[in-house]
Amino acid sequence: MFTTETLQKFAREVAKYPAGQQRSAVMACLALAQEEKGWLAPETIEAVAKYLELPPIAALEVATFYNMYDLKPVGKYKLTVCTNLPCALSGGYHAARYVQDKLGIAFGETTADGKFTLIEGECMGACGDAPVMLVNNRRMCGAMTPEQIDKLLEECK
């Protein structure tokens, strides 16, 4: 189900916790599984549970509780735009509107070519850099003026 590299990363996470507490690694393993597969299909979640010797429901509960897990397929690039108040005061809504217009999709949608998914995000702890966007849960981009947004979308091949 998972590549050797992913399995090695799983093991590294499990080792962070005391013996018998491997359940603590479920968040990290789900994140790594999502990184490998693109999203968390039911069988992926089950495989993570099996690896950690947990009932599948324990992993599913976690996958549904935390916002950054994708339980449906997403585009190659998932763009999360923060529109919480501190960002909104410095253009969060505008940046969101600008990306929506450019891609022709609303929040929660994916472009027809499967390239981009757009998500409305909550505070990312980066409000001083507003407007802020997160690419694929990993790469944080700040000061997203229209020029910067154009550049980012172009880089996403």
Partner 1 sequence: MAILGAIHPVLTAGLNGAVDNNSGWQLKDYVARGGYSVLKKILAEKTPPDEIITVIKASVLRGRGGAGFPTGLKWSFMPRSLPGDKYLVCNTDEGEPGTFKDRDLIRYNPHAVIEGMAIGAYAIGATRGYNYIHGEIWELYQRFEAALDEARAAGFIGQNIQGSGFGFELFAHHGYGAYICGEETALLESIEGKKGQPRFKPPFPASFGLYGKPTTINNTETFASIPFILKMGGEAFLNLGKPNNGGTKLFSVSGHVERPGNYEIPLGTPFAKLLEMCGGVRGGRKLKAVIPGGSSAPVLPADVILDATMDYDGISKAGSMLGSGAVIVMDETTCMVKALERLSYFYHEESCGQCTPCREGTGWLYQIVHRIENGAGRPDDLALLGDITANIMGRTVCALGDAAAMPVQSFIKHFRDEFAYHIEHKTCLVPKDVQWAGSGFHKAAEVR
Min dist CB 115 to partner 1, Å, is: 21
Indicate whether 114 belongs to the interface with partner 1 (CB under 8 A). Answer: no
Separation CA 34–CA 65 (nearest Å)? 15
Indicate whether 74 belongs to the interface with partner 1 (CB under 8 A). Answer: no
104 dihedral zone (left: phi>0; alpha: psi -120 to 50; beta): left
Binding residues among 10-69 for partner 1 as defined by CB under 8 A: 16-18, 21, 23-28, 30-31, 54, 58, 61-62, 65-69
Residue type for 129, please?
Answer: D
In a 10 Å sphere around its CB, with 0-12 CB exposed, 13-18 middle and 19+ buried, how is residue 133 labelled? buried
Which residues here bind ligand FES, judged by CB under 6 A? 82, 84, 86-87, 123-124, 126-127, 130, 132
Separation CA 103–CA 99 (nearest Å)? 6
Residue 14 vs 82, nearer CB to ligand FES: 82
SS3 call for 90: coil
Binding-site ranges for partner 1 (CB under 8 A): 16-18, 21, 23-28, 30-31, 54, 58, 61-62, 65-69, 80, 83-95, 97-98, 121-131, 134, 137-140, 142, 145-147
